[in-house]
A = this chain, B = another copy of it.
Amino acid sequence: MMMNVVVTGAGGFVGRELVRKLLAAGHHVTGIDTHESGIPEGARAIAGDFGDAAVRANALAGGCDALVHLATVPGGAAEADPAASRRINVDAMYDLLLEAGVINPGLRVVYASSIAVLGDPLPALVDDATPLSPKMIYGGHKAMMEHAVAMFSNRGLIDGVTVRLPGILARPKGPSGMKSAFMSDLFHALKAGETFTCPVSAAGTIWAQSVRRCAENFMHALTLDCALLPPARAVTLPAQRLTMGDLAAEIARQCGVSPELVTYAPDAALEAAFAAQPPLYTPAALRAGFAHDGDPATLVANALSSI
């Protein structure tokens, strides 16, 4: 069934992939982002500050059967400017939920949260019972808004699905505001046959999903039967847990270069925050039909296809 889907952050890394999939599936898409240039052709593009009520109203004015909320001040940027994170990641999102719910009560809203809600350091094992105990501004604000999504869903204003994203591979080159950007930079370096100094150790463990798989999970979330979700409407997305060394070896193999292009100079803070990920079990997400890429070779192939 054709839907009018509004996507915030439509010019971003995950947003572009998702908008293309939505258009290919025959949906009408309205994309909001800071600049029009990143929003894929075929979507109705709304450029502006997502914190501006007029920009949001303009986006919703074309009709909104479903809303995918990806726009965010990312982790590193939020840490550098907590007030900006509060304005966009909390206040503007809260307003958007109210505005969309008034226009179309009970509409499906898919909210991109993050594993940052789980905290830092993580416990020895993460599963669906792990309590949220965020430390980063980004994770704290994402956790706050998970509860707004649950509350508004329980009230029937929206029909919300919160998905917590792990590391998504591979992001475009250049500054992203994400502290975890080194994972993607590794792909770019090896694809170009260049040396790479990895800021976490070869034994460091990450949780990862390709952007292609991630967009498929968002497509699934748009039509998912919410009776399959836990009461709080939030799931940690399935992710593969692998070491940076194994990831580098597989990328090198697929790119036909030597894994010795990579050297390791671990930064203690990055290692603790992004490369000390414990075993991850996500039965709630699996039960609801979400998936990771399947195996490291597929993950790397999917990730390479996006850069």
A residues whose Cβ falls under 8 Å from a Cβ of B: 86, 94, 117, 119-120, 123, 129, 131-137, 139-140, 143-145, 147-148, 150-152, 154-155, 230-233
Judging by beta carbons under 8 Å apart, are A134 and B154 in contact? yes
7 residue pairs, one from A and one from B, having the closest CB atoms:
A140-B151, A135-B154, A133-B231, A143-B147, A144-B144, A131-B232, A134-B151
Q: A231 and B123: CB pair below 8 A? A: yes
CA distance A119 to B232 in the complex (A): 9
- Complex CA gap A137/B157 in Å reads 12
Task: Please measure, in the bound complex, the distance between the C-alpha atom of A136 and the C-alpha atom of B132, giving whole angstroms.
Answer: 21
Some 7 contacts from A to B, beta carbons below 8 A apart, are: A120-B154, A132-B150, A133-B231, A133-B233, A135-B151, A144-B144, A147-B147
Kindly list chain B residues whose C-beta atoms are within 8 Å of the C-beta of A133: 150, 154, 231-233
* A140–B233 alpha-carbon span in the complex (Å): 13
A268 to B230, CA, bound (A): 26
Q: A94-B86, A129-B129, A144-B144 are in contact. Are A134 and B150 (CB under 8 A)?
A: yes
- B residues in contact with A140, CB < 8 Å: 147-148, 150-152
A155 to B150, CA, bound (A): 25
In the complex, chain B residues whose CB is within 8 Å of the CB of A131: 230-232
CB distance from A279 to the nearest CB of B (A): 18
Residues of B within 8 A of A155 (CB): 135
Extra A-B contacts (16), CB below 8 Å, given A134-B147, A135-B155, A140-B151: A117-B147, A119-B154, A119-B231, A123-B231, A131-B231, A131-B232, A132-B232, A133-B150, A133-B232, A134-B154, A139-B151, A140-B152, A143-B151, A144-B144, A144-B147, A147-B147
For A233, list chain B residues within 8 Å (CB).
Answer: 133
Min Cβ gap A118→B in Å is 9
